[in-house]
Amino acid sequence: MSAYFNDTFIAGEESKLHVADLSIQRGYAVFDFCRTVNRKPLFINDHLERFFASAAAMHLPVNKTKEELIHIIGQLIQQSSLPEAGIRIMLTGGYSPDTYTPAVPNLLITCNPVKTATEADFEKGVSVISFEHQRELPHIKTINYTMAVWLQPLVKEKKADDVLYHHNKIITEFPRSNVFVVTKDNRLLTPARNMLKGITRKQVLSLAAAILPVEERDIHREEVYEAAELFLTSTSKKLMPVVRIDDIVIGEGKPGVITRELYRRFLEKEKNQ
Amino acid sequence: MSAYFNDTFIAGEESKLHVADLSIQRGYAVFDFCRTVNRKPLFINDHLERFFASAAAMHLPVNKTKEELIHIIGQLIQQSSLPEAGIRIMLTGGYSPDTYTPAVPNLLITCNPVKTATEADFEKGVSVISFEHQRELPHIKTINYTMAVWLQPLVKEKKADDVLYHHNKIITEFPRSNVFVVTKDNRLLTPARNMLKGITRKQVLSLAAAILPVEERDIHREEVYEAAELFLTSTSKKLMPVVRIDDIVIGEGKPGVITRELYRRFLEKEKNQ
């Protein structure tokens, strides 16, 4: 496992930050995460565009171009012998002299084994609970997952796999995934604001356009409870059916036909990248 | 500058965390911060009690007792030749195998020079702006200062020194300080909820009880605009007059008499610790 730190390739074990870094002092950093298929980074342009947008929104300059980052990531993948790798590109607030003011950012890129959802995971689906919470600066991919990690014991206690945030009953997103609803009259709904726009979400929206009407808009939790199908999307989970939310079984507790068709087309797309 | 990492004293330069640590991956960590007076840690019992409370609230076990931490901190202060030191005690979510689930926490204690507010700073006071924001899990001292750091360019643009958060016009706290209002009829007000209860705040409440009526309750922003005196409290700023908020001058733009008397008593108290 190798990594890249600022301007140098380093061993994975050496991927360390001094405690003065603003990520450790104040949780101030952005990142993006992609995975490889056929030893190539999937949707890398979209991921890097979002990474640059996150960095700019957090007032953190990136001292590399997109092309330079693609080159570095390519070398990391080549150096590793991983059939499937997860690439994490991180930019922090840097070594702050007063532990508060951003300094020259630290850039850290790691390449590690990644566990993605299998077709067996898809068939099983996941159970979720809903929870009132609005993430701070939701359109920026910061490292702030305080609430998500903090909620893990509750999720476990409720025998669920994940948590769907809502604010005043309007659903927004999972901590690391986007949410999609298939209505009983065969429309596809997904939130349009107060959440992070996922790269897999973008692909699904594009694939869905050929299949059924799509609406990006506010969705009330009641519409989720009455959904014909419900699924989430993320880089590592791909498309994943949600078969239960807050003790309400969705569909017949199995992946729905629309979800399955979108999943099939998505797998096709990533295979042919 | 020396430090302590898990079970070992280390050099300050060696105070590093591997990127797998949940503080870097997900901003998941708690800390507390105290300073020395006469080479002794000020209000150390209160700081450590809050540290243990923060750790417990974040489901992070501390593998040291309060007495052990006091002993380690004492040794760090002794090893350093600093007349005034800042002690940061930090507990992270640990080296997470899946970058999401908390593991065995990492404990990191650092001892560094600290810059505290001087009497000249007190005489000058600070200017602030108000901003709509409610911190997540505000009663826990997490490392999540994303919003505070993100707001720095705005604070600077407004020629202010700090930002006072309010939620639906009810003021709560500054990112790193508590807020106090002296009303025109000589009562002392400070928020009671949705904020972190500071150690200096506790001292000020205790000192104020002998001087004027004190109310811990919700405070509307309008009450701040109409204040006779306004000040903030924190470990490094001690008591600091706020002489302007949102372009409204408080008092005559100078430290008020109550603020000054509380400040005098506070300095007396810390000197005699």
- The answer on pLDDT for A31 being more than 60 is yes
Report d(CA B148, CA B150) in Å as an integer: 5
Partner residue facing A100 (CB), from B3, B19, B149 = B149
CB atoms A98 and B108 under 8 Å? no
- The answer on pLDDT for A1 being more than 80 is no
How many other C-beta atoms are found inside a 10 Å radius of the C-beta of residue B184?
9
pLDDT (tens digit, 9 = 90+) per residue, B88-119?
999 999 999 999 999 999 999 999 999 999 99
pLDDT (tens digit, 9 = 90+) per residue, A59-100?
999 999 999 999 999 999 999 989 899 999 999 999 999 999
Query: Stretch A39-48: mean pLDDT, rounded?
Result: 97
pLDDT (0 to 100) of residue A152: 98
Q: At the topology level of CATH, where does B2-113 sit?
A: D-amino Acid Aminotransferase; Chain A, domain 1 (3.30.470)
Helix residue ranges, H only, B40-130: 44-57, 66-79, 119-124
What's the pTM value of the predicted model, to 2 decimals?
Answer: 0.97
Query: CATH 3.20.10.10 region(s) of chain B?
Result: 119-271
- Give the chain B residue nearest A115 (alpha carbons): B98
Hey, what are B254's tokens?
């100078």
For B257, half-sphere exposure in the C-beta direction (CA atoms, 13 angstrom radius) is 6
Query: CATH 3.30.470.10 region(s) of chain B?
Result: 2-113
pLDDT (tens digit, 9 = 90+) per residue, A180-223?
999 999 999 999 999 999 999 999 999 999 999 999 999 999 99
CB atoms A13 and B18 under 8 Å? yes
Question: Which chain B positions have a beta carbon within 8 Å of A13's beta carbon?
Answer: 18
Matching CATH number, A119-271, of 3.20.10.10, 3.40.950.10, 3.30.70.270, 3.40.50.620 = 3.20.10.10
* Average pLDDT of chain A to the nearest whole number: 97
- The answer on pLDDT for A170 being more than 70 is yes
Partner residue facing A16 (CB), from B16, B102, B148 = B16
Give this complex's ipTM.
0.96
Residue positions counted in chain A:
273
pLDDT (0 to 100) of residue A86: 97
Residues of chain B with pLDDT under 50: none
pLDDT (0 to 100) of residue B135: 97
pLDDT (tens digit, 9 = 90+) per residue, A235-259?
999 999 999 999 999 999 999 999 9
Question: Which chain B positions have a beta carbon within 8 Å of A93's beta carbon?
Answer: 149
Residue to substitute from A134, A146, A156, interface B, most B β-carbons within 10 A: A146
Q: Comparing C-alpha atoms, which of B63, B205, B135, B92 is closest to residue A25?
A: B92
Question: Which chain B positions have a beta carbon within 8 Å of A147's beta carbon?
Answer: 136-137
Partner residue facing A93 (CB), from B20, B136, B149 = B149
Residue to substitute from B149, B155, B167, interface A, most A β-carbons within 10 A: B149
In this prediction, what percent of chain A has a pLDDT beyond 70?
100
Question: Which chain B positions have a beta carbon within 8 Å of A98's beta carbon?
Answer: 115
